[in-house]
Amino acid sequence: MKTPIRILPLVEDGLVDEVLRPLMSGKEADVFVVRSGTEIRCAKVYKEANKRSFKKAVEYQEGRKVRNSRRARAMEKGSKFGRKEQEDVWQNAEVDALYRLAAVGVRVPEPYGCFDGVLLMELITDEDDHVAPRLNDVSMDAEQAREDHAVVMHYIMLMLYAGLIHGDLSEFNVLVDSYGPVIIDLPQAVDAAANNNAKRMLTRDVDNMTNYYAQYAPDLLNTQYAKEIWALFEAGELSPEIELSGTFDEVEQDADVDSVMQEIKAAMEEEQNRLERIREAQEEA
């Protein structure tokens, strides 16, 4: 096909040899199948901010790091330079997230870099070399749903271990190849430690995925992965080796309340005894 204008610089630089066909046109990006040498890859061309319709940009951008202070100031001012920088941060956020997640063992498309607003990455395919379907487009039995759900919960835990929350996880942003679920679409990934909405977003991601798999295995609705994962994060106990149980011991929390109540009761009794002793002493006098 004719090379889309935004991919031309990558062709000129030899990163892409040929654009084979459009794959998908989403809210934030147009995705193409491209050839680089003998490799078939995927090119995600980001739309410009004014053409995107991402509603919650503010929620996501809170706490996003901008290392250079001139940049940070320009972004705050919203100058033309600032807007350009804001775009770069947005676009680099996805490639950064892909590298960080791949490093901790989350299955994501292998990234090859982001150039001029075009993310070049592995094309996820099924066993017949067709583009892998989205989770939303596959059906499965209960056993498969439980297995894949556990894998996705493990990935959500690993993402948080890497400091990130997907923030837009759903059956539309998970592909399924012959090995299982692959997480995609990460430009809005949030920095867990710096964002006040982190717990809420993590819970939303977990709930979206659990509700989806629960249509095949309703027992999944009884799991409590979000609470379990968040408690591990807060306690600084996340690690790639952790095996999640899907349960969360609220009893332990209640026990804490109980012990506080017991302490209060003991203090009151002690005070009662003290007053009693004073009264006795006064009566004796």
Ligand X SMILES: Nc1ncnc2c1ncn2[C@@H]1O[C@H](COP(=O)(O)OP(=O)(O)OP(=O)(O)O)[C@@H](O)[C@H]1O
Site of interaction with ligand X (CB under 6 A): 23-24, 26-29, 31, 42, 44, 109, 121-124, 131-132, 134, 172-173, 175, 184-185
Choose the one of Mg ion, ligand X, none that binds residue 147, judging by a C-beta under 5 to 8 angstroms depending on kind: none
Query: What is the smallest separation between the CB atom of 35 and ligand X, expressed in angstroms?
Result: 14
Q: Which residue spans within the chain are E strands per DSSP?
A: 18-25, 29-36, 39-46, 111-115, 118-122, 164-165, 174-177, 180-183, 190-191
Residue 168 annotated in active site: yes
Residue closer to Mg ion by CB (options 6, 52) is 52
Q: Sign of the CA dihedral 62, 63, 66, 69?
A: positive
Selecting among 96, 148, 168, 205, the annotated active-site residue is 168
Residue closer to ligand X by CB (options 27, 265) is 27
Query: What is the smallest separation between the CB atom of 41 and ligand X, expressed in angstroms?
Result: 8
165 and 199 in contact (C-beta within 8 Å)? Answer: no
Residue closer to ligand X by CB (options 17, 177) is 177
Residue 148 annotated in active site: no
Question: Across the strands, what pairs with 115?
Answer: 118
Query: What is the smallest separation between the CB atom of 245 and ligand X, expressed in angstroms?
Result: 31
Choose the one of ligand X, Mg ion, none that binds residue 29, judging by a C-beta under 5 to 8 angstroms depending on kind: ligand X
45-48 CB contacts, 8 Å cutoff, 24+ apart = 45/4, 45/6, 45/7, 45/117, 45/118, 46/87, 46/90, 46/91, 46/117, 46/118, 46/119, 46/187, 48/87
**Residue among 6, 22, 231 nearest 114 (CA):** 6
Selecting among 30, 148, 185, 191, the annotated active-site residue is 185
Residue closer to Mg ion by CB (options 29, 217) is 29
Query: What is the smallest separation between the CB atom of 241 and ligand X, expressed in angstroms?
Result: 28
Active centre residues (catalytic)? 168, 185
